[in-house]
Structures are given as structure tokens and as C-alpha cells.
Structure 1
Amino acid sequence: MPDIQDHQVFDRALLDRRRQRWLDAEPRAGVGFLLRAVVDELGERLSLVERRFAVAVDLGGHTGEMAARLRAGGQTDRVVRIERLAALLKDEEFACVGDEEALPLADDSVDLIISPLSLHLTNDTPGTLVQIRRVLRPDGLFLCGFLGGETLSELRTALLSAEAELPGGVSPRVAPFTDVRDAGGLLQRAGFALPVADQDRLTVRYDMLFDLMADLRAMGMANMLVERSRRSASRRLFLRAAEIYAERFSDPDGRIRATFDIVYLSGWRPHDSQQKPLRPGSARTSLAAVLKDRSDDLV
């Protein structure tokens, strides 16, 4: 595998600094809506699995809401939180500081790993998934939700269009996001059994662009691309971007729309007890026979 230093997209040290500022700042009302939506959905999906997990890991869950949901659900004996910042882990009984891209876990050591809104910020997502599969015990489960698809496409369009009108050229300001089909392929490449990938779209409305950007800063989602421009953006740029956003992506009442596509993944560490696909040529009934039976029913 190539050295991931050659393929860095995100400045993860900057991500840490922004999360620390988020911890130190006064909380912005309602800003946790996205994380809560993902935590609720992952909790619902886990509740449909008729299994008990001895050791579960909340990987990069930021606030501890996912860990609390796991404990309340009664399907886990022990929940361990892993975060890059020690400050996010205060008062936790079972926790450790670690990176999603370098998991501080032994192979075959946990039964469930669940990650809300974290993996879209990894530079080596395929490698991270391989590590997750390795640290799971056989027949262990992985669940996650991360931003993908057309997330913030309106903001990207408005900023690029505004910047194209101004001197200095265009620079990347909104992160790239993984398509749900590509995400499913990553699960298969990482060696997960029974992989499932699907997508949910959340459309949020704001009075203006600056309200959306304030929420993104409070979530720690402001521009952290390695290739971002180091020059301070002008007020003129954002005022023009706000005009373009309102012109192209507003509802009749004048409020603007922001798209958040959440990609959900699930996969199992392979085990002999799991359902296997049939071998080619092993079916006892031919497709032609099935189609003939269906056509007879319609006569």
C-alpha cells in the first residue's frame, strides 16, 4: 500500500485544534442535530440485531452520546470509547486515546465497533476499514454512519461560483465525499462479510449562508483540507457566495437548503456460521423454470 502521507486530504492536526476549540467554547444551540440523528439511526439498526456483544467500541463518537446509547440499549457488557483528544474522554471508565487510522486495539479483541460521523475525515479510509475488520472477533459487527454523497453540494457550488468571479482563482473549500456505491465497495475490499451500504438524506434549512457556516464551524466541519488556501478569504467572497446560494438554493419563503447525505455501512468479520452465497451452478431450479412458472400463473 502506498504511504498515506502521499495521499493526505485532511489536516487532522487542524481537526484536533478545532475540536479543542469546540470543547472550550460556549455551545451553539441545536448544533448537535446531525450527530444525534446518526446516533439514533445507528442505535435503531443495532436494536434489530438479536445479539449480545461482550466488548463494544464507540469509535470517534465525539460527545459520548453513542456510548451512552449503547449502554442504555442493553446489548453490550462493556463499552470502550476511543478518541483522538483526551479531553473528550473525561469521566469515562473505559476509554483510550487513539486514532481511527491507527487503532490501539489488538487483533480479535472486540465484538462490536460503531462509529458515528467520523470516518469521512480519515485520509486512509480503506486501511482504517481493514484495521477495524482485524480487531473484530470472528462474527463481530461493524456499524458506522458518515457524511457522503451530495453533502453540502449547494455550499460547494456557491463558493466555487463566487470565487470564479473574483481575482486569485479557485481553491478547495468543501471536502470531497464518498458515494454510497464506492463505500459499499470499500467494505468488500476490506474483507467484510455480508456488507450493506445505504444512504439517508437530511435537508436542513437556514435563514442565510452565514447561519449554515456558523453551524459548520461549531461542528468542527470548517475547511480542513490539506490543499486549502492559506490566504484569508475576503468578506466580498462570502457576501457574493451568499447571494448565489440564495438565488439557486432557496425555497419560496426565502430560506436556503443544505443537504447532508449520511452513508450507513454494516459488515461482519467473516465466520463459518454466517450465511454463504451459493456456488455458481449449485442451484437446483433453473431461472428458465422459475420464469415459466410465473408465466403460467399469469395465464
Structure 2
Amino acid sequence: MTTPPLLTDRQALDRQRLRARARGLDLFLQEEAVGDLQERLIEVNRTFTSPALIAPFPEIFAPVLPDAKIVADTDVLGLEEGAHDLVVHAFALHWANDPVGQIVQAARALKADGLFIGILFGGQTLHELRASLAEAEVAVTGGLSPRVVPMGEMRDLGALLQRVGLALPVADSVTRDVAYANPMRLFEDLRAMGETNAQAARPRHFTRRAVLMRALETYLANYADDEGRIHATFETIWLTGWKPHASQQQPLRPGSARARLAEALGTFELPTGDRPV
């Protein structure tokens, strides 16, 4: 059996996270998600007594999950089976070599009727930067290198919840457009978040100056506003699912409905065999 190539160079990812801490974290997107997480937990209207948090920078979630068990986002998660009524996987799944395996491990750690919440960057994130770098590299070198980590689309990520057997799965996203004075300020923010390129297949040499300058020109030409500021998209995807339990809402058996759909919609139902012309 062929082993699939690793997406992430874990040592590089750890180094860039350490550098982000050393230079002073700027986690404005993650901090915004903390408020969203608090609102979502309030809406659930349940007291969680044994939460676990999987996150590269768990301290920012302390106001919402002060007593959570902190777990590193390694390939094998330090979670005990059936030990938690809430597992939050925050801003690490997009770097996972096996995101399905990560969610499976989180689901196994849940008690019956426990809640899983995944928070990660989605496929629309940095699409402007991705396109500008690709166009510049092709134009200058005739080739293409992996420079922005691939991120999943919401529909595909939502399907993972069903695949691992979580009930009542929900996937939604929050998209934010951030304006910068120039592309270099965007790069500074990515470094401060520990989100620069740590792909295993990334180029191991410095980017040629001609490629970088062409990418900056392309970015400014295609994604600048009337004031000369460039724009960057960040999409945060939220995944929610419950460990199955008999008390949860269940779908009706086929044929068990007491009212016709046509009546509920206030429309007409065609007799069997009839087709509209």
C-alpha cells in the first residue's frame, strides 16, 4: 500500500508558531471567533462540565473555556475515549495531514450526546494571494509551486461530519474582507498568526525577487480599491456535530408524515402519472 504524501511539515509549522509567539501574537481573526464560539455555546443552552480544546494558541479561548483540557494538534490527539461532553478543534484542522482522522479521534473522545465544534480556515481564504503568486510564478519561471496551504470547501468539510458518524451535522462559514495598506502588511499578519507556508512540498529556497515583485504588482492590479489598499479574504468555517444519543431528534420514517407537503406549501399535487406541459 502506498503511503500518501504528507501535507504539512510539522517541524516547520511548529517553528513558525514559536516565531509568532516570540514576535507577539496578532490573532485578530481567532479572537473574533472566540466571541462567535461563546454565542454558539449560549444558543446550545447546556452546561459543559468536561470540555477539551485542540488549538495551537489555546490561551485566547480561555475566557470561554477556562477549564478545558488543552490538547496539541498532533496527528495522534491526546484524548481519552468517551471522556468529554464538548470537544473544540480550533484553527488547526486546515494544517492536519488527516483531517478525517482528527475528527474521528475527537468524536471518539465525546460522551453520548456530546458536542464537537470544528473551527478552521476555508477554501476562500487568501484566494487573492494564491492567484497572484500562481500567475507571477508561471509568468517568470514557467512553473508552479505550492505556496498557500490548500483549504477545504464548506460542503466537502460538512460531509466529513456525516462520514465519521456525528449526528445533526451543520457546516456554516463567516467570510471577512480585510484591507491592507500593501501586500507586505498582509505577510506580516500571516507571520504574526503563525500561518505562513509550512507545506511539506513547499520550495526550500528563497522566492526569486522577480517572482515576488510580479506577484505584488499582480495583487495591486487586481485586488486594490480606489484608495490603493489591497484586500484579502479570510473564510472561517464552523463544523458542528453531536455524538449520537437516543434522546436526539430523529428523522421521520418514510411514509409516516401526517400532512402532505403540497398542503404545507399551499400548492397543488399532480395526480400519479401526470406531468406538467
Q: Same fold judged by TM-score > 0.5?
A: yes
- Superposed displacement of residue 19, structure 1: 1.2
Q: Which runs of 4+ in 1 moved over 6 A?
A: none
Aligned twin of 1:40: 35
Q: Say which structure, 1 or 2, has more relative contact order (CA 8 Å, 6+ apart).
A: 2
1:143 to 92, 110, 117: 117
1:82 to 61, 65, 71: 71
Between the aligned partners of 1:289 and 1:260, the Cα distance in structure 2 is: 43
Aligned twin of 2:147: 173
Letter in 2 for 1:264: W
Aligned twin of 1:208: 182
Whether 1:10 aligns to 2:8 is: yes
Between the aligned partners of 1:138 and 1:56, the Cα distance in structure 2 is: 14
Between the aligned partners of 1:52 and 1:9, the Cα distance in structure 2 is: 37
1:64 to 59, 68, 81: 59
Between the aligned partners of 1:46 and 1:266, the Cα distance in structure 2 is: 11
| Percent identity of paired positions between Structure 1 and Structure 2 | 41
Letter in 1 for 2:168: L
Conserved? CA contact 1:149–1:262, under 8 Å = no
Conserved? CA contact 1:149–1:263, under 8 Å = no
- Superposed displacement of residue 69, structure 1: 1.9
Whether 1:112 aligns to 2:86 is: yes
Between the aligned partners of 2:43 and 2:61, the Cα distance in structure 1 is: 16
**Structure 1: stretches of 5+ with no match in the other structure:** 72-77, 85-98
1:124 to 98, 101, 105: 98
- Number of aligned positions between the proteins: 268
Between the aligned partners of 2:40 and 2:184, the Cα distance in structure 1 is: 34
Residues 1-299 of structure 1 mapped to structure 2, 5 A cutoff: 6-23=4-21, 25-27=22-24, 31-71=26-66, 78-83=67-72, 99=74, 101-167=75-141, 169-291=143-265, 293=266
The TM-score with structure 1 as length reference comes to 0.85
**Structure 2: stretches of 5+ with no match in the other structure:** 269-277
Conserved? CA contact 1:203–1:259, under 8 Å = yes
Letter in 2 for 1:172: P
